[in-house]
Structure 1
Amino acid sequence: MGSVDIWAFRTGSGHVSGSDLVGFKVEATDGHIGKVDRLSEEVGANYLVVDTGPWIFGKHVLLPAGTVARVDFEGEVVHVDRTKEEIKDGPEFDPHKHDADDGYREKYAGYYGPFYAGPMY
Structure 2
Amino acid sequence: MLINAKTLKGYQLDGSEGVVGKVKEFYFDDQHWTVRYLVADTGNWLTGRQVLLSPYAMFLVNKKAERIGINLSKKQVEDSPSLGSDKPVSRQFEKTYYGYYGWEPYWSNSYQWGASSNWIPGKEVWKLSDKEVKGWDLHLRSSNDVSGHHIQATDGEIGHVVDFILDDEMWAIRYLIIDTKNWWVGKKYCYHHNGLSA
TM-score normalised per structure 2: 0.45
Structure 2, unaligned runs of 5 or more: 104-118, 122-198
For the residues of structure 1 that align with 2:79 and 2:24, how far apart are their CA atoms? 19
The code of the aligned residue for 2:51 comes to V
Which deviations, in whole Å up to 9, do the C-alpha atoms of 1:62-100 show, x marking residues without a partner?
A: 1111111111111111110000110111111235230xx
The code of the aligned residue for 1:40 comes to Y
Which deviations, in whole Å up to 9, do the C-alpha atoms of 1:10-34 show, x marking residues without a partner?
A: xxxx6x4764421111110111111
Q: Cα–Cα, structure 1 residues 19 and 37, in superposed 2: closer, same or farther, change >3 Å?
A: closer
1:49 and 2:39 aligned: yes
Q: 1:28 aligns with which of 8, 12, 15?
A: 15
Q: Which residue of 2 aligns with 1:113?
A: 102
Q: Which residue of 1 aligns with 2:107?
A: none
For the residues of structure 1 that align with 2:80 and 2:47, how far apart are their CA atoms? 15
For the residues of structure 2 that align with 1:107 and 1:35, how far apart are their CA atoms? 24
Structure with bigger gyration radius:
2
Q: Which residue of 1 aligns with 2:54?
A: 64
Q: Cα–Cα, structure 1 residues 119 and 30, in superposed 2: closer, same or farther, change >3 Å?
A: farther
Q: Which residue of 2 aligns with 1:3?
A: none
Calculate the aligned-residue CA RMSD, in Å.
2.6
Conserved 8 A contact 1:26-1:34: yes
Q: Cα–Cα, structure 1 residues 24 and 58, in superposed 2: closer, same or farther, change >3 Å?
A: farther
1:82 and 2:72 aligned: yes
For the residues of structure 1 that align with 2:102 and 2:4, how far apart are their CA atoms? 24
More strand by proportion, 1 or 2? 2
Conserved 8 A contact 1:46-1:65: yes
More helix by proportion, 1 or 2? 1
Q: In structure 2, the residue corresponding to 1:33 is in which secondary structure?
A: strand
Pairwise CA distance, 1:45: 5.6
Q: In structure 2, the residue corresponding to 1:96 is in which secondary structure?
A: coil
Percentage identity across aligned positions? 27
Q: In structure 1, the residue corresponding to 2:83 is in which secondary structure?
A: coil
For the residues of structure 2 that align with 1:102 and 1:45, how far apart are their CA atoms? 16
Conserved 8 A contact 1:51-1:59: no
Q: Which residue of 2 aligns with 1:96?
A: 87
Structure 1, unaligned runs of 5 or more: 1-13
**Number of equivalences:** 102
Pairwise CA distance, 1:108: 1.2
Conserved 8 A contact 1:37-1:49: yes
